[in-house]
Structure formats: C-alpha cells, structure tokens
C-alpha cells in the first residue's frame, strides 16, 4: 500500500509519519510530486500554520490542480489546517479560497470568556455510520489546536465538537475526509482513526 503525506512546506510530519508507521505496514512517503500522488492508495494532507500561506504554497507547487484531480479517485485525509484547505474558504488573513472539495467556510472563534486558540483534548460527538470512528468509544477525546472552525458543510457526513459553540470537528465522504484535531497526537483514539482511514476500501 502506498501512502503519501503531501509535502507543501507546512506541518510537522515527524509525529504523523511515526503514528502511521505504527498502525500500518505500508510504503509511506512525504512528497509533492504528481507521479507519487497519483500512484498513492491513500493521501494525507497535513498542516500547521495559516490558511492563506497554505494556499499560496499549494499554488506555487501546482498542487491545487493535482490534489483536486487525485481526490476524485484516491481517498484523502486532511488534518487540522489540511482539513480547512479542503473546504471552500477561510477568513484567516483575508478571505481566501480553498480547494473547495467540501462546501463550507472557516471563521475565527469569537469569545471574551474562553481562551482562543482552542487547545487540548476535547470530545467528538460522532454521527453514524462512520468510517473514521469505527470501533472507537462513544464521545472520544482527540487533541485540538486551532483558532478557526467550520460551522456547516454541505453534502458531507460531519461530526461535531463543543467549544464556545458547536463546530464541525471531522467530516467524511467516499473520498474526502477531514479532522480538525490531530489524530497523530491523540493517543490510541488517534491511532485507531488513522488505521480506520488506511484500512478503508473505497
């Protein structure tokens, strides 16, 4: 099995690589080459940083075209900022268009009472039937670090988390998957979720 972590210069891939290797015996590479991406059985789009910077990097590497096309037939999992850029847009920096594979817009948390960013383990209210959360306990905890969140997404199964308000913390369809949290930093719950994604047969 070929797994490609898409490299666009943002994101700490060390933790992610080690978490994937532990759950799945696979040929794992970190790459941004078109050939590698189209030969993959599973794609992972990581990301730590800002939305506008991420899109600028993707454009300069011609990855907008490549990912959009690859995701028509290869399951892709976006993690944290990676999930955000799978969607239509975000207001981070200035209003920036994303890959638009999922219809939804990211906006910043607003609160005077709660600290922003939302940092730490928090629970996910899982909608069933789920591919990602199969055989994971009810209301599982995952590790979050983010300031922007998605309120609604069209035509996709979504799972929600409560912080300040209720937001979408994960979504999934036949080929497009996203988690706002970091499965690679979320203990056994995260390892199981990664395994579910890698074992999934589209």
Partner 1 sequence: MLRKRLIFVLIYSEGFFCQSRNFRLQKVGKVDWIIDNYKFSEVSKYIDELIILDASPTKDIARFCDDVQIIIENIHIPKCFGGGISSLGGVSKLFAAGADKISINSLAFDDPRACKEIISQYGSQSIVASIDYKSEDGHEIVYKSNGTIATGIELSQHVNFLNEIGFGEILLNSMDRDGTGFGYDLDKIISISNLSTVPIIALGGAGNKNHFHAGLLIENVGAVATANLFNFMEDALGISRDYLLEEKINLAKW
Distance of CA 78 to the CA centre of its chain: 2
Helix (H, G, I), strand (E, B) or coil at 187: helix
Q: Does 117 bind partner 1 (CB under 8 A)?
A: yes
Candidates 38, 56, 49, 133; CA nearest to 96 is 56
> Catalytic residue numbers?
80, 182, 184
Please list every residue from 11 through 30 that binds partner 1, using CB under 8 A.
Answer: 12, 14-15, 18-19, 22
Q: Does 42 bind partner 1 (CB under 8 A)?
A: no
**Separation of alpha carbons 3 and 158, rounded Å:** 24
The alpha-carbon radius of gyration of the chain (Å, integer) is 15
Please list every residue from 127 through 156 that binds partner 1, using CB under 8 A.
Answer: 137, 140-141, 143, 145-147
Q: Does 163 bind partner 1 (CB under 8 A)?
A: yes
Q: Name the DSSP class of 183.
A: G
CB of 75 or CB of 140, closer to partner 1:
140
**Separation of alpha carbons 157 and 30, rounded Å:** 28
Q: Does 69 bind partner 1 (CB under 8 A)?
A: no
Contact residues toward partner 1 (CB under 8 A) are 12, 14-15, 18-19, 22, 48-49, 115, 117-123, 137, 140-141, 143, 145-147, 162-163, 184-191
């Amino acid at each position: 099995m070929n797994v490609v972590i898409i490299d666009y210069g943002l994101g700490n891939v060390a933790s992610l690589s080690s978490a994937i290797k532990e759950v799945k015996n696979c040929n794992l590479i970190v790459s941004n080459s078109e050939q590698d991406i189209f030969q993959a059985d599973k794609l992972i789009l990581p990301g730590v940083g800002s939305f506008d910077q991420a899109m600028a990097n993707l454009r300069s590497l011609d990855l907008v075209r490549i990912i959009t096309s690859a995701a028509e037939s290869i399951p892709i999992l976006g993690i944290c900022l990676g999930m955000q850029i799978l969607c239509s847009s975000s207001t981070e920096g200035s209003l920036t268009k994303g890959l638009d594979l999922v219809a939804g817009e990211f906006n910043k948390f607003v609160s005077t009472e709660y600290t922003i960013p939302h940092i730490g383990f928090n629970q996910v209210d899982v909608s069933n039937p789920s591919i990602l959360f199969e055989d994971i306990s009810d209301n599982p905890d995952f590790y979050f670090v983010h300031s922007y969140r998605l309120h609604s997404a069209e035509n996709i199964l979504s799972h929600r988390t409560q912080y300040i308000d209720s937001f979408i913390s994960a979504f999934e369809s036949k080929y497009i998957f996203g988690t706002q949290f970091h499965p690679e930093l979320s203990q056994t719950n995260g390892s199981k979720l990664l395994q579910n994604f890698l074992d999934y047969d589209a």
